[in-house]
Amino acid sequence: MALVLLAAPLLTGLIRKVKARLQRRRGASVLQPYRDLRRLLGKEVVLADNASWLFRTAPYLIFAFTWVAASLVPTFATGLLFSWTGDLIAIIALLGAARFLLALAGMDVGTSFGGIGASREVMIASLAEPAMLMVILSLALIAGSTQLSTIAQFMLSPAAGLRVSLALALVAFVVVAIAENARIPVDNPATHLELTMVHEAMVLEYSGRHLAMIELAASLKLLLMISAIACIFFPFGLVIGASEAGRYFVGLGAYALKLAVAGTLLGIFEMSIAKMRVFRVPNLLGGALMLALLATLLLFVSVGL
């Protein structure tokens, strides 16, 4: 649990660095997110006049939900202590709960931008979640489980070969992950142009430690998604069950490597395309949903593909 907490900002920093480099800027150091967090934590909170108790408690809850969800994902070893407390569906639901609270918090102060952000967020989520669940469905059908560690084990085993449905699922998963984490082309984490904001619009009224919590939660979520993808589709070097320390180090290294690669790729990807109009997002996500459904159907029709 602590590990993901520490690693998350680093990943964010890495991505920013990559993007800056691609823009021929030197960019801030990869450690910048940590500094930001410390600075924000130190600041006082400015609350809008009619912010309610919900507005004040939401950041901690959001953070907690995301953190618990993240700690259910095997990072470099499947033998997590509590992996059986929740499966993939539960993880998605936890993230959904976080989003639910975030959207409510966005509407709490009663500004129009909060409303924009919330309504767009739920619209995107209403398509992303089903797609995600379809992906899980197809994975579960292949691996015969919704338990991440079990899926990972299955993927490592020779029983899992290359499958069409797996490829489809991967694509869908990536798209959903991008949408969920409010990255380009769905949303731009760096924008402050009001009308294009989704995520940023919801957190507009936050400041100080609350903002810090939310930022941290966001980067946690990103990390979670990446490590989920890693442990499902690229479970190389994942440590199965308990074994000696050496293996763990290997796994750790592999995990770090995966993160670095994913982060770089994401950065490049975000640089290479432009943000979409809000109402073209549904088409993208609908496509993802269709892909995932197709994957599932293929499996249902014949469990060979």
Cβ closest to another protein, residue 30 vs residue 92: 92
Question: Which residue among 68, 222, 223, 232 contacts another protein (CB under 8 A)?
Answer: 68
- Based on the shown chain and the rule CB under 8 A, indicate whether residue 43 belongs to the binding site for another protein: yes
* Dist. CA 254–CA 238, nearest whole Å: 8
- Based on the shown chain and the rule CB under 8 A, indicate whether residue 137 belongs to the binding site for another protein: yes
Contact call for residues 45 and 214 (beta carbons, < 8 A): no
Which residues touch 176 (CB under 8 Å, ≥6 apart)? 128, 131, 132, 135, 285, 288
Question: Which residue among 133, 168, 218, 225 contacts another protein (CB under 8 A)?
Answer: 133
Contact call for residues 169 and 292 (beta carbons, < 8 A): yes
Shortest Å distance, C-beta 243 to another protein? 20
Query: Integer distance in angstroms from the first to the last C-alpha of the chain?
Result: 36
Shortest Å distance, C-beta 219 to another protein? 15
Residue 23: strand, helix, or coil: coil
Q: Of 169-228, which residues contact another protein (CB under 8 A)?
A: 194, 204-205, 208-209, 213
Q: Give the range of 114-122, 164-172, 224-232, 264-272 binding another protein by CB under 8 A.
A: 114-122
User: For residue 23, which of 175, 190, 179 has the smallest C-alpha distance?
Assistant: 190
Shortest Å distance, C-beta 30 to another protein? 23
DSSP string computed for 232-299: HH--TTPBPSS--HHHHHHHHHHHHHHHHHHHHHHHHHHHHSPPPPGGGHHHHHHHHHHHHHHHHHHH
Cβ closest to another protein, residue 41 vs residue 159: 41
Shortest Å distance, C-beta 260 to another protein? 27
- Based on the shown chain and the rule CB under 8 A, indicate whether residue 35 belongs to the binding site for another protein: no
Shortest Å distance, C-beta 286 to another protein? 8
- Based on the shown chain and the rule CB under 8 A, indicate whether residue 164 belongs to the binding site for another protein: no
Residue 79: strand, helix, or coil: coil
Q: Which two tokens stand for residue 244?
A: 């000696």
Q: Of 44-63, which residues contact another protein (CB under 8 A)?
A: 44-50, 52-54, 60-61, 63
- Based on the shown chain and the rule CB under 8 A, indicate whether residue 8 belongs to the binding site for another protein: no
